[in-house]
Amino acid sequence: MNTKDSALTETTASSNRPESDPNRLIAVIDIGTGAIRMAIAEIKADGTVYALERLSQAVTLGKDTFQTRNIQKSTMEECVRILKSYRRRLDEYQINRDDQIRVVATSAVREADNRLAFTDRIFIATGFEVSPLDEAEVNRITYQGIRPYLAAKPNLDEAQTIVTEIGGGTTELLLVQNGNVLFSSNYRLGALRLREMLKGYRVPLSKERTIMENQIERVIQQIVHEVPADKSIKLVVLGGDVRFALAQLRPEDEIPEPGNSLDELDRLKVSELSKFTDQILQKNEDELVQTYHLAFTDAETLGPALLAYTKLAQAYKLKHIYVTKANFRDGLLKEMADQSTWSDEFYTQVIRSTIDFGKRFDFDETHARHVAFLADTLFQSLQNEHKLDLRNRLLLYTAALLHEIGIYVNQRGYHKHSMYLISNGNLFGLGQADLLLVALIARYHRRASPKATHEGYSTLDRFSRIAIAKMAAILRVADALDYSYSQRVQEIECEITQGQLIISIPHVEDVSLEQIALVEKGPLFEEVFGLKVHLRKK
């Protein structure tokens, strides 16, 4: 990575992280498609996370959403009952502050038309603030959870490793190598979603497997197209369904408590998994409940999930897969332990993903990196003026890298094309809300100032609108400083005096070109900050 990028990641998340209290207690609650799960943990003085207790209770959220796109009132009240019981358990641990508890929801709540009514009802009844996560946020948290386990296994860390979980509603997939996320995506393939589709079509048991295989193989074809097969590829799988299969196939193995050991990756032969999957698919849900003493919700998802894992491994011609006992809650706990949803490593991954995204549109990488460097320098120098946080610093840096990708579509009005490409793109770890902010910053790097009638901008709250204006103004100045596309402005020094921002530029004899560019790009900065920008040689 470019040293300018490294400088950003070294001073962002870590410098904003409060000092942890010794042995702090925290809890995370995951409202999923088929269960509500809670993990309670203790953060040691050295920052390590030790799991104390894990709870899980079945719900029918996924059934409601995937069948009718609405969460039924009875399901809401069942969720309230479960979450009230979790609240009482947290009270016993004296975990009651907002900064000790994080409650998230995934696809079943995210896709429900009445998700706001659901989250409001939960808040009124329990005081829990539920945050529905979009797919990019889920990928980020999954990466946070699995990263330590990959790092502990050099053969996996150095290879191109696919990390995936077949959830109830979606399939998450990351391609990781040497700690870098090379690709991330989510697919509309979920074990419960498949099961509900079969029920909707009233498919007989004898036909279920064929129809599931067709649906699964369509998605796997897309995955293989996006992540081509390579001899070095390894497959690490998460999820309760495959952990159940491992426990049945390795009953003599002692299963450690998840989250308290890095030795949590077990090799499983694909041939063994395939044979066990055949046995499972020959039974209906009632038979699975009786045979394996499963909860009915677990019995519903077991066959579809194992079939999807098997088909994915076979598509890559793998003899073994690696099963981890780490899970989504581990990533949530790690983020809470760091007291930041965006760790230093996350910043690095976002920048890497952004550059890879820009390359897809043949962007001028040298110019983009230099404008990002200049924008970041201005951001730090003007901290007392803009008063934005380090999250916004990363969003500005990302927008600066991508501000010209719209040229790929058309030179005319390319700033609007940049906005479209970014807002519809896939940058690792940045959810839709953050992508919109990045897209708007890039959109306003030239031409018109932000207006209430502009698409996207009009939907933002006041704080976000002001932040966009501030960052767009900074980006315009940074872009003007490399108006020659020569990267000749390598250093800048900022001073505010007599209503002016004086930018001194050493080692450049003639700054007239940059000064001309500021005639066009400087007015927004003056409008936002009340400071006229002036350049001078040093």
Tell me the three-class secondary structure of 41-94, residue by residue: EEECCCCCEEEEEEEEEECCHHHHHHHHCCCCHHHHHHHHHHHHHHHHHHHHCC
> CB of 508 within 8 A of CB of 491?
no
Closest CA to 424 of 412, 411, 438, 414: 438
Distance CA 83, CA 130 (A): 11
> CB of 27 within 8 A of CB of 100?
yes
Give, for 337, the enclosing helix (H) or strand (E): helix 328-338
User: pLDDT grade, residue 436 (50/70/90)?
Assistant: very high
User: pLDDT grade, residue 7 (50/70/90)?
Assistant: very low
Closest CA to 52 of 1, 110, 100, 107: 100
- Non-local (6+) Cβ contacts of 146 within 8 A are 163, 174, 176, 236, 238, 324, 326, 330, 331
User: pLDDT grade, residue 2 (50/70/90)?
Assistant: very low
Residue 530 has pLDDT above 60, yes or no: yes
Tell me the mean pLDDT in the region 293-311: 94
Predicted local distance difference test score (pLDDT) of residue 308: 97
Residue 258 has pLDDT above 70, yes or no: no
- Non-local (6+) Cβ contacts of 375 within 8 A are 396, 397, 400, 474, 475, 478
> CB of 58 within 8 A of CB of 35?
yes
Burial of 205 (0-12, 13-18, 19+ CB in 10 A): exposed
Q: Percentage of the chain surpassing pLDDT 70? A: 93
User: pLDDT grade, residue 204 (50/70/90)?
Assistant: confident
Distance CA 327, CA 418 (A): 36
Distance CA 248, CA 424 (A): 43
Predicted local distance difference test score (pLDDT) of residue 19: 44
Angle 461-462-466 from CA coordinates, rounded to 5°: 120
Distance CA 484, CA 522 (A): 16
Give, for 177, the enclosing helix (H) or strand (E): strand 171-177
Top-confidence residue, 468 or 230: 468
Residue 156 has pLDDT above 90, yes or no: no
Pairing of the two strands 130-132 and 101-105 = parallel
- 475-490: pLDDT as tens digits: 999 999 999 999 999 9
- Non-local (6+) Cβ contacts of 389 within 8 A are 16
* pTM for the structure as a whole: 0.85
Domains of the chain, each with CATH number or no CATH: 21-132 (3.30.420.40), 135-338 (3.30.420.150), 344-537 (1.10.3210.10)
- Non-local (6+) Cβ contacts of 210 within 8 A are none
Distance CA 323, CA 268 (A): 7
Lowest mean pLDDT, pick from 80-94, 124-138, 193-207:
193-207
Measured from the Cβ of residue 342, the count of other Cβ atoms closer than 10 Å reads 22
Distance CA 371, CA 487 (A): 9
Site of tokens 């003639």: 510
Residue 58 has pLDDT above 90, yes or no: yes
The amino acid sitting at 93 is: Y
Q: Which two tokens stand for residue 54?
A: 């894990």
> CB of 50 within 8 A of CB of 260?
yes
> CB of 62 within 8 A of CB of 168?
yes
Predicted local distance difference test score (pLDDT) of residue 151: 86
Site of tokens 């030239």: 446
Q: What is the 3-state secondary structure (H, E, C) of 240-306?
A: HHHHHHHHHHCCCCCCCCCCCCCCCEEEEEHHHHHHHHHHHHCCCHHHHHHHHCCCHHHHHHHHHHH
